[in-house]
Amino acid sequence: MSESTAPQNPVGDAGETSRRFAGRTVLMSGGSRGIGLAIALQLAAGGANIALLAKTATAHPSLEGTVYTAAEQIRAAGAKALPIVGDVRNDEDVQGAVDATVAEFGGIDIVVNNASAIDLSTTDAVSMKRYDLMQDINARGTFLLSKLSLDALRASDNAHILTLSPPLNLDPQWAGANLAYTMAKYGMSLTTLGLAEELRGDGIAVNSLWPATIINTAAIRNLPGGEKIIAGARQDTIVSDAAAAILARPAAECTGNFFIDEDVLREEGISDFTGYSMGAPEDRLVPDMFL
């Protein structure tokens, strides 16, 4: 990955933002690598305690990182970390992660629904095993982790649920191209839409965040033609910077949104995104799906 020239504190002065998550506790699904880990590290740098629920007890043959190596990086950033080996598809694992996080840190202030599976096969080509995997991790996993965290979130004075999922764009091109994946990702987004309204009276912010462009992640690189696509990508730090900006906002004033990373940073006074690029000029970046 090329070195970023993006501002080190893109959403404010370092003195104002460096400890803005001090005392806050985050429970994230996934987070061993990629965008999830970038968000975890950004929040850790702001002083948050980070609990990660992930299956990656051991390294994947073609993917870097485990829940334990992610925890090491979080601790190196000066924060406390709780690595939890578990499967977001399993009710007992998720309940155990919530209980362990509350026991370790005294509560939960932020839930990040990051875990996601991707298969862009057409309806003819996708196996029902892969279909079920995407539904179980993306839609059901998001719903389950959010549901089981609610009691803890209600005890927080600035509770947030942030889900990495797209706006509910009903242009048929997306469902027509990748129906199984679109259904699974939109299940995550429907959870945002519904919970934001359901929990409005509880003061829990529920939002989604999606990148404007393709992001340099192992998931994209491992797709057919992925290395070529990555040439037009941005680094994952643009998403983590946007996530931190959202999660620092007052929950009562920030709910029910489908944020795009660029738009969030513009609201924070950032307009030059060239430092996030993997090398392509701005007009050659590859837009992400669903936009």
Catalytic site positions:
181
User: What's the number of CA atoms in the CB half-sphere (13 Å) around residue 76?
Assistant: 7
Contact between 163 and 188 under an 8 Å Cβ cutoff? The reply is yes
Closest-CA residue to 196 (of 184, 187, 186, 208) = 208
Q: What are the two backbone dihedrals, phi and then psi, of residue 172, each rounded to the nearest 5 degrees?
A: -65, -10
Cα–Cα distance for residue pair 143/159, rounded to 1 Å: 16
CA distances in angstroms from 167 to 199, 205, 237, 273, listed in the order given:
19, 16, 20, 21
Residue 263 is which amino acid? D
Q: What are the two backbone dihedrals, phi and then psi, of residue 27, each rounded to the nearest 5 degrees?
A: -115, 120
Cα–Cα distance for residue pair 112/239, rounded to 1 Å: 13
